[in-house]
Amino acid sequence: METLPDVQIVASHTLPQDLIEELDHWYDRTLLADPAYVHVKDWALADWIVLIRFDGQWASVAEIMDQVIRVGGQPQRVAGISGVMTHPDRRGQGLAAQAVKAALDHARDELNAPFGLLTSTHKLMPYYRNLGWTEVPVRLTFTQSDGPSRYDPALVTSMIYPLSAQVWPNGDIDFNGPPW
Ligand SMILES: CC(C)(COP(=O)(O)OP(=O)(O)OC[C@H]1O[C@@H](n2cnc3c(N)ncnc32)[C@H](O)[C@@H]1OP(=O)(O)O)[C@@H](O)C(=O)NCCC(=O)NCCS
């Protein structure tokens, strides 16, 4: 019988170097190779990682970052959810959904964040919609070391998940730093 997954939320600075390198290897082959994201060089750093493992081997991950962005020019705290990735051998078993849910639970219960915010390619939007996320079709700008940049709206959309009674404000989103 298959063992149950071990689900942990760990501070990102405590991840062992060999695991960081293995995850980077898979990020390079998947998310970072996506045309929607190839122009991004500087990424927001994760504060927490949801790590789902079977028998000590990573199976699925999601990153959480505690951020203050700007929406319509006003500061807005969000829990950024990013780097959602499942090992190719473990896909289609609901692990990414489990990782995202664990990330949102942590954002609400431990960080008191009023919203989750992620960016999604259009092909994955239905997947996140099914998990309760709503797209916010506004302009998405962010900062890189060589100046301001933006996501192509034809490729990437922001999606939010309510974690409180707050209403999402109107206006374009500025990540106020590197994006996720
Ligand atoms: C997307 C991803 C995280 C899903 O992981 P998972 O653990 O298999 O996800 P779940 O089991 O919770 O859900 C599987 C569903 O994801 C959706 N999905 C996965 N990849 C997809 C893709 N490229 N396009 C559209 N939908 C996709 C499908 O609806 C799939 O349903 P199916 O199993 O009936 O086909 C995984 O395919 C992955 O790591 N991809 C590479 C990294 C990536 O693109 N991450 C998304 C960051 S926004």
pLDDT by 10s per residue, the chain, length 180: 668 899 999 999 999 999 999 999 999 999 999 999 999 999 999 999 999 999 999 999 999 999 999 999 999 999 999 999 999 999 999 999 999 999 999 999 999 999 999 999 999 999 999 999 999 999 999 999 999 999 999 999 999 999 999 999 999 999 999 999
Closest alpha carbon to 88 in 12, 5, 29: 29
Ligand 1 and 31: CB distance under 6 A: yes
Q: Find out whether 59 and 87 touch, Cβ atoms under 8 Å.
A: yes
Query: Is residue 150 in some structural domain?
Result: yes
CA of 48 to the centre of ligand 1 (A): 21
CATH code of the domain in which 23 resides: 3.40.630.30
Residue 36 within any structural domain of the chain: yes
pLDDT of residue 3: 82
Q: Is 27 in the pocket of ligand 1 (CB under 6 A)?
A: no
Q: Is the CB of 28 under 6 A from ligand 1?
A: no
94 CA → ligand 1 middle, Å: 9
Residue with tokens 């969000």: 78
CA of 84 to the centre of ligand 1 (A): 9
Question: Total domain count for the chain?
Answer: 1
Model pTM score? 0.95
Q: Is 98 contained in some domain?
A: yes
Residue nearest atom 38 of ligand 1, based on CA coordinates: 85
CA-nearest residue for atom 46, ligand 1, is: 84
pLDDT at residue number 104: 98
In a domain, 167, yes or no: yes
Range of the domain at 56: 6-174
Q: Whose CA is nearest to atom 9 of ligand 1?
A: 96
Is residue 180 assigned to a domain? no
Report if residue 79 sits inside a domain. yes
Q: Which atom of ligand 1 is closest in space to residue 98's alpha carbon?
A: 12
pLDDT given for residue 1 in this prediction: 62
Tell me, yes or no, whether 179 lies in a domain: no
